[in-house]
Amino acid sequence: MAATRRLIIACLATTACLLALPAVSGAAKPLWLCKPGLADNPCEPKLTTTLLSPTGQELGTEKVKQAKRRRVDCFYVYPTVTEGPELQAPLEVVPVLRSVALYQAARFSQRCRVFAPVYRQLTLSGIAGEGASLELLETAYADVRNAWRNYLKKHNKGRGVVLLGHSQGSIHLIRLVAEEIDPKRKLRRKLLSALLLGWNVTVAEGRDSGGDFDRVDACRSKKQLGCVVAFSTYNAPVPDGAPFGRTSRPGLEVLCANPAALGGGSAPLDTIHPSEPFAPGTIAGGSAALGLTTPPVSTPWVEYRGAYSGQCSSADDANVLQIAGAPGAPRLNAVPPTWGLHLVDVNIALGDLVGLVRKQAKRFAKKRG
């Protein structure tokens, strides 16, 4: 069993291994966590936001509204959030899924219609516990792929699309891009960007492609379409044994693209997260554990502008987004230490990511006429 666990963890880090897994039959009929028109949709909340200084002082309230015409869609695949002894998550909408969709995907509803499938993900036990198997990993991916194909067939109707994933969600989307989008010009033309956070997207050393993808390059400008943004966040030297920022594949390196400064350098980050606590009692409720505190506010969202800055770094032989706090900003803690700030990868720069989608959506509409 220990050998199987090591094989799964090694395979998760290598797209070539994922592509070689045998296909499974019987992918589940899509069940949507978020979809336009869905009752009680966690990805369509009110967006009113309290603006905070780095020290937590209220600076005012902003009434954020959806764009009148959302011309593009976002396809979101959530991270590992299922705990307990089971190896594979059930195909059902449970509170922790609603929480993670609110935290990571809902803010994008300003600019895109959000589609988020439920999938039979590997649980924490499924990744590292007794009885884990590569077949479970393939089943999870088959659910994601089936939902993607269903979305294209029934809902896309020629619209542009943003892929959004984190952690295990990014693992499955990396494979989806490699198999379903990168080789097909028609689908590449639909892609605004792939925001694949909290996992290791690889590129050829010194280049913006040539690793996991041949034709989908790194995003290096907000005017660029059909590109990928990827990073993992740390606020200290990357320790030995860290799962992010390094690859053992010869000739490749891990991509870091800072959404606040795609061309390089350091820039202030626009940090946004809900004021509602994450699903209680779950490991995924990372904002509070990491120290990203929420003062008592009357709005459903809080936004720290300039409390943190970020810059891609290759120190310690690891390509990651290094975060620095402004004076008085909440001090962030690595939980666990080798993961860095993994649990807030999305929210630490959520405003920048949504802003990038806004610019890309305008660019896409202009190109399509």
C-alpha R_g of the chain: 19
- For 15-43, write each residue's pLDDT tens digit: 666 666 666 556 668 999 999 999 999 99
Averaged over 226-233, what is the pLDDT?
Answer: 98
Where are any strands of DSSP class E within the chain?
31-34, 49-52, 58-62, 72-77, 112-118, 160-166, 191-197, 202-204, 227-229, 233-234, 252-254, 267-274, 301-313, 320-325
- For 330-359, write each residue's pLDDT tens digit: 999 998 889 999 999 999 999 999 999 999
Residue 313 is encoded by which pair of tokens? Answer: 């770094």
Domain coverage including residue 146: 2-368
Q: What is the tally of structural domains in the chain?
A: 1
Q: Count of CB atoms within 10 A of residue 257's CB?
A: 27
| Sign of the torsion angle spanned by Cα atoms 70, 76, 81, 86 | positive
Q: Give the model's confidence band at 2: pLDDT under 50 very low, under 70 low, under 90 confident, else very high.
A: very low
Express the helix, strand and coil content of the chain in percent, nearest 5 each.
30, 20, 45
Q: Is pLDDT of 312 > 80?
A: yes
Distance CA 65, CA 62 (A): 9
Per the model's pLDDT, the better-predicted residue between 8 and 71 turns out to be 71
Q: Is pLDDT of 136 > 90?
A: no
Q: Count of CB atoms within 10 A of residue 173's CB?
A: 29
Averaged over 234-244, what is the pLDDT?
Answer: 96
Averaged over 305-331, what is the pLDDT?
Answer: 96
Averaged over 296-319, what is the pLDDT?
Answer: 96
Closest CA to 74 of 155, 167, 181, 145: 155
